[in-house]
Amino acid sequence: MFRQVAEGVYVFTVEFRVGVMDLGGRMTAVRLPDGGLWLHSPVRFTPEARAAVDALGSVRFLVAPNLMHHLSLQDWAAAYPDAKVAAPAGLRRKRSDLRIDVELGDAADAGWASVLEQVLVQGMPKLDEVLFFHRPSQTLLVTDLAFNVHRTGSWFTRMYLKLNGAWQRLAPTLLTRSLIKDRQAVQASLARVQAWGVERVVVCHGDVVEQGGREAVRDAFARL
């Protein structure tokens, strides 16, 4: 089931592993003014996940927020053919089989601009992450730019994150930082995010930062 973290913002958390890494995964649903749903980083498509989404409402948008979080998008697009698929332009080269209706950049699409702002983080072309800000609840949506893992059954994951200085705190990993090609461009993009007045941070991997988001984001992004 989805858990409501703010008015109009719901999260669906699942188990997710990458090799020996146990990071957990999360899909976020935002209710749009027309009552439809905007789904951020759809997780593995299962009957349970579909039932949870259908219980919330009608899907209007399926969003791949970077070049990594697209593995389940095809299944969701097939299940919801009327929903528009949104993704960074670079995903067209990576997934020529995937229908993309909206290319994500610095400007929010008219379909969600009334409640969501966005920034395409420049200077990391192998990630091309788009950060989203839900204005009504002051909630920032982060995908792979930073994790916030506080518990795991994997000794390897715990040690890896501790060595990265990213255990039990909102922070990027060494792998994320290794993707930076233009640090000045990255910082210019993140400066716009700092101006949003973030209160809450929903990450795809780890725990939701329920309060003090501005300080957590400032400290995390200072490491990029």
Q: Which amino acid is at 163?
A: L
pLDDT at 15: 83
pLDDT at 89: 95
Q: Which amino acid is at 126?
A: K
pLDDT at 19: 66
CA pair distance 124, 163, nearest whole angstrom: 23
pLDDT at 24: 81
Q: Tokens standing for 184?
A: 């000045």
pLDDT at 126: 97
CATH of the domain at 197: 3.60.15.10
pLDDT at 132: 98
62 DSSP assignment: E
| Whole-prediction pTM | 0.95
Yes or no: say if 182 and 213 are a contact pair by the CB < 8 Å rule. no
Q: Which residue segment(s) compose the domain that 96 sits in? A: 3-221
pLDDT tens figures, 103-137: 999 999 999 999 999 999 999 999 999 999 999 99
The total of structural domains in the chain comes to 1
Cα dist. 89→23, 96, 151 in Å?
26, 11, 34
Residues 6+ apart with CB under 8 A from 117: 108, 132, 133, 135, 196
* Under-50 pLDDT residues of the chain: none
